[in-house]
């Protein structure tokens, strides 16, 4: 188990806040031992939450040239045929994975290939489970073109009510490696996949999936 690099600034803030809280309680509330214990407990809780959220577990990846692997941990909340208006501008199968604050928040490439589209959009911070969050919230869109069958997959990082920062590592022209890191979403959100209509879906609504391990669909 490692600590993800995206969490270092947050961890430093948590450590500084905890130190100030403990020192303040000892200097200003020295006659009240209960206040000292409370400051210790609150500091420990804060540090545990930060470390848990930014954990980066070591995993054995599921790799398959004809497979589309989960880009994130979470629960499958949407499987439907829909219009994708940004890049493809045609019908696609949308599969959405909702990430709660207790999930691992590393995002990964679902397939290998070339990054042919990568864009960040400013937006709102509505609850990520709402359907319109995919088009109105702050988000990123990345499209990877498969190297052998020529098919493309779009996956979108979507911010939520708590998620206030999306990190995307992708640039147009990059070579994507299946299950390689492509970004991070801080404090809960969702990832949408837009797949070809002939993709064979291997999950159902309510399934809990693991990024880089669970097979979402097959070409």
CA-based nearest residue to 104, from 207, 183, 12, 202: 183
- Is 100 one of the annotated active-site residues of the chain? no
Give one DSSP letter per residue of 76-95, joined into a string: EEEEEEEEETTTT-EEEEEE
Whole-angstrom CA distances from 26 to 17, 21, 31, 44, 173 are 14, 9, 9, 16, 55
49-101 residue pLDDT tens:
999 889 999 999 999 999 999 999 999 999 999 999 999 999 999 999 998 88
134-161 residue pLDDT tens:
666 788 999 999 999 999 999 999 887 6
Active-site residue identified among 18, 112, 134, 189: 189
Residue listed under structure tokens 């303040």: 24
Nearby residues of 99 by Cβ (< 8 Å), 6 or more positions away:
72, 73, 74, 105, 128, 185, 188, 189, 190, 191
Q: Helix (H, G, I), strand (E, B), or coil: what is residue 212?
A: coil
Task: Tell how far CA 74 is from the center of its chain.
Answer: 9
What is d(CA 217, CA 167) in angstroms, rounded to the nearest whole number? Answer: 25
Judge whether 120 and 89 are in contact, CB under 8 Å: no
- pLDDT higher than threshold 90 for residue 218: yes
For residue 41, give the H/E element and its range. Answer: helix 33-53
Phi, psi angle pair for 213, to nearest 5°: -125, -45
What is d(CA 210, CA 89) in angstroms, rounded to the nearest whole number? Answer: 29
- pTM for the full predicted model: 0.86
- pLDDT higher than threshold 80 for residue 43: yes
Q: What does the pLDDT average to over 182-190?
A: 83
pLDDT at 173 (0 to 100): 96
Task: Tell how far CA 66 is from the center of its chain.
Answer: 23
């Amino acid at each position: 188990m490692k600590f993800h690099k995206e969490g270092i600034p947050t961890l430093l803030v948590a450590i500084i806040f905890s130190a100030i809280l403990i020192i303040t309680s000892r200097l200003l509330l020295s006659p009240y031992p209960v206040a000292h214990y409370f400051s210790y407990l609150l500091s420990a809780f804060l540090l545990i939450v930060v470390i848990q959220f930014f954990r980066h577990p070591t995993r054995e990846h599921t790799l398959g040239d004809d497979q589309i692997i989960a880009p994130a941990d979470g629960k499958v909340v949407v499987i439907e045929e829909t219009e994708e208006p940004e890049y493809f501008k045609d019908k696609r199968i949308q599969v959405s994975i909702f990430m709660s604050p207790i999930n691992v928040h590393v995002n990964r490439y679902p397939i290998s290939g070339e990054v042919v589209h990568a864009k960040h959009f400013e937006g709102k911070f509505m609850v990520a489970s709402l359907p319109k969050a995919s088009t109105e919230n702050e988000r990123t869109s990345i499209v990877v073109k498969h190297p052998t069958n020529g098919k493309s997959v779009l996956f979108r990082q979507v911010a939520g009510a708590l998620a206030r920062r999306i990190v995307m590592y992708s640039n147009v022209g990059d070579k994507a490696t299946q299950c390689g890191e492509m970004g991070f979403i801080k404090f809960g959100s969702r990832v949408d996949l837009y797949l070809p209509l002939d993709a064979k879906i291997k999950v159902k609504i309510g399934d809990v999936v693991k990024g880089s391990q669970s097979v979402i669909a097959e070409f």
